[in-house]
Amino acid sequence: MTTEFRVPSDVLDALRRYDRVLIAAHARPDGDAMGSCLALAWALRSIGIDAHVFNEDGVPGYLRFLSLPGPVLTSVDQLPCEPQLIVVLDCGDRARVGEALQPLMDRVPTVDIDHHLANPNFGTAANWVEPSASATGELVGLIAEALRAPLHGALGEALYVALSSDTGNFSYGNTTPGALRLAARLVEEGVDIASLREKLENNWSEAKLRLWGRLMGETRILESGKLAAALITRGLLAETGASREDSEGFVEQLRRLSGVRVALLLREDEKDGTLLTKASLRSSGDDNVRDTAARFGGGGHRNAAGATIHLDAEKSLDAMLPFIRSVWDKRL
Ligand code: 5GP
Ligand code: MN
Last residue of some domain: 153, 175, 201?
A: 201
Span from the CA of 312 to the centroid of ligand 1 (angstroms):
18
Q: Do 86 and 121 fall into the same domain?
A: yes
Tell me what pLDDT residue 3 has: 60
Last residue of some domain: 201, 234, 252?
A: 201
Q: Do 80 and 17 fall into the same domain?
A: yes
What are the pLDDT digits (tens) for 304-329?
A: 999 999 999 999 999 999 999 999 98
For 185, the domain range is 9-201
Last residue of some domain: 201, 223, 240?
A: 201
Q: Do 213 and 173 fall into the same domain?
A: no
Please check the confidence at residue 271 and state whether its pLDDT lies above 90. Answer: no
Q: How many Å apart are CA 131 and CA 29, to the nearest integer?
A: 19
Please check the confidence at residue 2 and state whether its pLDDT lies above 70. Answer: no
- Total domains in the fold of the chain: 2
Q: How many Å apart are CA 122 and CA 118, to the nearest integer?
A: 11
- Assess if residue 3 is contained within a domain: no
Q: What's the burial of 295, exposed, middle or buried (CB within 10 Å: 0-12/13-18/19+)?
A: middle
Q: Do 161 and 222 fall into the same domain?
A: no
With a CB cutoff of 8 Å and minimum separation 6, the contacts of 310 are 274, 275, 276, 277
Other beta carbons within 10 Å of 67:
11
Contact status, residue 214 vs residue 206, Cβ threshold 8 Å: no
Q: Do 188 and 68 fall into the same domain?
A: yes
pLDDT band at 35 (very low <50, low <70, confident <90, very high): very high
Instruction: State what percent of residues in the chain have pLDDT above 70.
Output: 98
Mean pLDDT, residues 250-254 taken together: 97
Tell me what pLDDT residue 272 has: 86
- Assess if residue 80 is contained within a domain: yes
CATH number, domain of 301, equals: 3.10.310.30
Please check the confidence at residue 331 and state whether its pLDDT lies above 70. Answer: no
User: What's the CA angle centered on 265, arms 317 and 96, to 5 degrees?
Assistant: 95
Span from the CA of 302 to the centroid of ligand 1 (angstroms):
11
What is the CB < 6 Å shell around ligand 1? 26, 30, 92-93, 96, 116, 280, 298-301, 304-308
- Assess if residue 332 is contained within a domain: no
With a CB cutoff of 8 Å and minimum separation 6, the contacts of 110 are 85, 86, 87, 88, 94, 122, 123, 124, 125
Give the residue from 82, 77, 78 showing the smallest Cα distance to 50.
Answer: 82
* pTM metric for this prediction: 0.94
Q: Do 54 and 194 fall into the same domain?
A: yes
What are the pLDDT digits (tens) for 45-101?
A: 999 999 999 999 999 999 999 999 999 999 999 999 999 999 999 999 999 999 999
Mean pLDDT, residues 157-175 taken together: 96
CATH number, domain of 170, equals: 3.90.1640.10
